[in-house]
Amino acid sequence: MPENELTVADLSEGGLLARIFPRLASGADVLLGPGDDAAVVAVPDGRVVMSIDTQTQDQDFRLQWNNGYRTTGYDVGWKSVAQNLSDINAMGGTASSLVVSLTMPPQTPVSWVEDFADGLTAGIAGLGAAGCSVAGGDLGRGREIAVTVAVVGTLNGLAPVLRSGARAGDILALAGTLGRAAAGLALLESSVPLEALTPEQRELLDSQCRPTPPLAAGPLAAAAGATAMMDVSDGLMRDGGRLAQASGVLLDLDPVALKMQAQALEPAAALLGADPMQWVLGGGEDHGLLAAFPPGVQLPEAFTAIGSVRAVDGGECGVRIAGESADTVGWDHFAD
């Protein structure tokens, strides 16, 4: 950091907020935005769908990665928004407003905080959540950077899509991608320098630092009659296992669909000597949507079939690959 760089310690809280507020998006559902003790938001649907998520420096991201990449405030702002909007999406809802808590060391540059606010706004716009806004927040001091975002949204008059509704015979489908963020994380942690990466490999870093969950897909799935849904934030095997458990079913994955996801990751996997299928099955943070649809339903455009839902038949709930257990296929370390 340059010696004359303005830091958070140089400004009062009011001074810092005055630099943040103009950078934040505001939407129609926020009746009273930042500046008072609390925000007031409208709830047109009569119900609120809400969620919260935290990112902590050195737990969820590093400011400086092994390969030389430096995480920007913009990255952290974008990712905070993406993770939270994705959870509302996974219920079939649409996010309407966020509150943001940012804790940071006093030597944090003010430009980093401004960049963070820009990342929040860009994430909302770039992910297609126009109308969602930052209704308020909190600034605090701490030993490292920590961001907590809470989000509220609307269900657009529909029932929420739960994890527990999948039934034998349903089609299992995915919107978005699998394994890209995990491949990006492996590149960040590798000793392959940033400058040596191809544009395609740089895009994998972006998938980790600024994920792009398919936000239009959740409400479309709900409207199409999805029986169960969740976003894949901890990996297909682990999250699929949770959906299978909640629904009391088996999820049978189609290896051909999995291989198609893995294909795009092959150059990065070759560079690192990794198995791309491990990223596809075990990697989270792309925030794709895993959903079950009744047989015969035309899948919304964003979705591709990746398997089917089967009855347990006396065995255990869980995820299979072409009918085989992950154990047999050799991926048991992804099964919870």
Q: Which residues bind Mg ion (CB under 5 A)?
A: 87, 231, 233
Report in angstroms the alpha-carbon separations of 241 from 137, 245, 329.
35, 6, 16
d(CA 153, CA 95): 4
CB-nearer residue toward Mg ion: 105 or 160: 160
CB-nearer residue toward Mg ion: 185 or 229: 229
d(CA 100, CA 76): 12
Smallest distance, Mg ion to C-beta of residue 231, A? 4
CB-nearer residue toward Mg ion: 231 or 252: 231
Smallest distance, Mg ion to C-beta of residue 161, A? 12
Torsion angles phi and psi, residue 2, rounded to 5: -60, 145
Structure tokens given for 223: 């409207």
Q: What is the largest CA-CA distance in the chain?
A: 68
CB-nearer residue toward Mg ion: 82 or 104: 82
Smallest distance, Mg ion to C-beta of residue 78, A? 17
Give the residue from 209, 199, 182 showing the smallest Cα distance to 274.
Answer: 182
CB-nearer residue toward Mg ion: 277 or 290: 290
CB-nearer residue toward Mg ion: 75 or 231: 231
Smallest distance, Mg ion to C-beta of residue 83, A? 8
The tally of CA atoms less than 13 A away on the side-chain side of residue 216 is: 9
Residue type, 20: I
Smallest distance, Mg ion to C-beta of residue 90, A? 5
What number of other Cβ atoms are within 10 A of residue 229's Cβ?
Answer: 27
Report in angstroms the alpha-carbon separations of 279 from 71, 85, 183, 274, 318.
22, 23, 6, 9, 19
